[in-house]
Structures are given as C-alpha cells and as structure tokens.
Amino acid sequence: DRKNVTETLGHLNKILRLRGWRTDSSNEQGDPDEQFTKMMQFIQQDMGKHQAPQFEAIQSTMLASSITCSKCGHTTEPNYSEISNFALSLPPHLNGKKMSSFIKAYMEDDIEGYRCEGCKKQVDVVRKNKIVSPADIVTVQIKRASFGFKCNTKISLDPALNLTRYAMDTTKQLRYELMASVCYTGTGNWGHYIAHAKGPTGEWRVFDDKETSKSSIGDALGHKSRSFEPVLLYYKRVYGDPDAA
C-alpha cells in the first residue's frame, strides 16, 4: 500500500545518502538515470567480484562496432564496448518518427570525412553496432534536455522493442516489452518526475512523490498527457513465443 511504498523509499533514500549520493551535489544532476546507475554501482560493490559480473549482465549490453568503406569495402576490426542504456538523441530531422528510427540512428552512426585504413581515401561512412551480448533489462534514455535547454523533437514510443536486426546472431530473437517508465515535466533546469510501473498482476500504477494510483501503458508512454513526457523506459526481454511482445 501507499504507506509501505513511502517507508521503503524513505529507507532507500537514507541508504543512498549514507553511501554518498546527493541530489543537490554540484557534480550530479540528481535525475533518475544517475540515481539508478549509482544504485547499481553500490549493489555491485556489495556483491563482490565473483557475483557482480553476473548481476551487471542483467542490465548491460555488449556492442561490437565496425566501419566498412563505401569505396573499397575495407572493414575495420570490431571495437567492443558495454553500455547500460540506449541514450537516444533527438535530431530534428527525425521529428515525429517512431522509436525504431531513433534506435537505428543510435546503432548506425553516420561519419563524414572518414579516412579509410584500406584505400586511404576520405569517405562518408556508417559505423554499425551489433549486439554481441544482450541485456535482460534494456534501458532507453530519451535525451530531451542538454545544457539547460529542452529538446522538443517528438518521438513515437512503442510498448514493444525488437532489437533482433542488430544482433550478431540474428537466429535468436531479441524482443522486449515495456515494464516501467520515468516521465518528466518542466524545463531543462527544473521540473518534476513521476514513474509508471507494471506490477506482477499486470496492473499499471503511477508513483508521484507519496501518491500512487492506477495507471496504464498509454500513460507510461506519455500518450495521455500533454505535460509529462517519458525520459526513461525500461524493457524486459521476452523469451519463447516471439508474438508475446
């Protein structure tokens, strides 16, 4: 109930402050993504070096990026990296497009004036990312604010996420369903956050400070609000029947 939720969040806030987390720190913005990242770091520290990698793999995606020259066909050796979220920029030319278009722009990055290692010519190329090791929980961050300014590019968000086309092994389905979101209203300098989450029974609820009430997946995606816009979306991997997502 509401009392238990409030007490739990209060205890969590005390623990975070004891561990050094401050929402008013000059080095932190105090937004939900930074807080979640810090919580994950604390948990991994407490788990130790043997269990921490297994825990990290739940919400960490390994990517392999490479570049193929459009002139000579030379392909670079893959560069491997791990990400904890898909941080989607909102370029104006994609205004109003579906989220899949923004995911594509993230996974296939245009580079102008690249000097090819093979033919030594300057060409415009695309750096493609492939998913080597997928996470069970995928976080999508919508980068609406930057340097105090709010980006107004519109993005059509989806309740399901299909990343199969970006997998190194495309024989395995990478399908995800929305489980929670964090929404924001305000400017690039100040505002208010609320969260929507899907419970074990499938019911959606909204959490607004100490208040909680029934919600819906439409609310979580920002379809029913003119003021609150999703900035963080959490997707859980769906195994088995690909139509389940």
Strands 86-88 and 137-142: parallel
Strands 149-150 and 160-162: unpaired
d(Cα 66, Cα 77) in Å, to the nearest integer? Answer: 6
Residue 49: what pLDDT? 67
DSSP 182-219: EEEEE-SS-EEEEEEEE-TTS-EEEEETTEEEE--HHH
pLDDT tens digit string along 202-228? 999 999 988 889 999 999 999 877 778
pLDDT tens digit string along 93-124? 999 999 999 999 999 988 889 999 899 999 98
Q: What is the mean pLDDT of the chain?
A: 85
| Cβ contacts of 181 within 8 Å, gap of 6 or more | 195, 196, 220, 221, 222, 230, 232, 233, 234
Whether the predicted pLDDT of 178 surpasses 90? yes
Whether the predicted pLDDT of 64 surpasses 90? yes
pTM of the predicted structure, to 2 decimals = 0.80
Give the angle subtended at the CA of 178 by the CAs of 103 and 88, to the nearest 5°. 25
What are the residues facing 160 on neighbouring strands?
177
What are the residues facing 114 on neighbouring strands?
123
Whether 159 and 104 have beta carbons less than 8 Å apart is answered as no
Residue 16: what pLDDT? 78
Give the angle subtended at the CA of 140 by the CAs of 33 and 82, to the nearest 5°. 85
Mean pLDDT value across residues 190-200: 90
How far CA 219 is from CA of 33, 138, 195, 215, in Å, comes to 20, 20, 10, 6
Residue 206: what pLDDT? 94
Q: Which two tokens stand for residue 126?
A: 């695309």
Find, among 65, 71, 64, the residue nearest to 116 by Cα.
71
Alpha-carbon dihedral sign for residues 148, 152, 157, 161: negative
Mean pLDDT value across residues 5-17: 76
- In the three-class reduction of DSSP (H, G, I as helix; E, B as strand; rest coil), residue 15 is classed as helix
How many CB atoms sit inside 10 A of residue 61's CB? Answer: 24
